[in-house]
């Protein structure tokens, strides 16, 4: 193992996460997502909805 991190995010990646312009129709940011086994993509703005979709698309 090298003595330093193998990969750190660059400044552009950190800026993109902190200043995301992709929001839900209600204006809240998409914070969670699930990819189902059949290719479904379900983004969510809150943790409870995320947990619901995890169970549904597992």
Domain ranges of the chain: 27-58
Nearest CA to 40 among 26, 25, 58? 58
Contacts of 42 (CB under 8 A, 6+ apart): 33, 34, 36, 53, 57
Structure tokens at 5: 């991190």
Q: Which CATH architecture has domain 27-58?
A: 2-Layer Sandwich (3.30)
pLDDT band at 57 (very low <50, low <70, confident <90, very high): confident
What does the pLDDT look like over 5-55, one tens digit per residue?
788 889 998 998 888 777 888 888 889 999 988 888 999 999 999 999 999
What are 43's strand-pairing partners? 33
């Amino acid at each position: 193992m090298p003595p330093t991190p193998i990969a750190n995010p660059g400044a552009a990646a950190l800026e993109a996460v902190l200043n995301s312009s992709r929001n839900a129709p209600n204006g809240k940011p998409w914070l969670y997502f699930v990819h189902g086994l059949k290719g479904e993509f379900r983004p969510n703005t809150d943790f409870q909805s995320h947990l619901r979709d995890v169970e549904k698309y597992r």
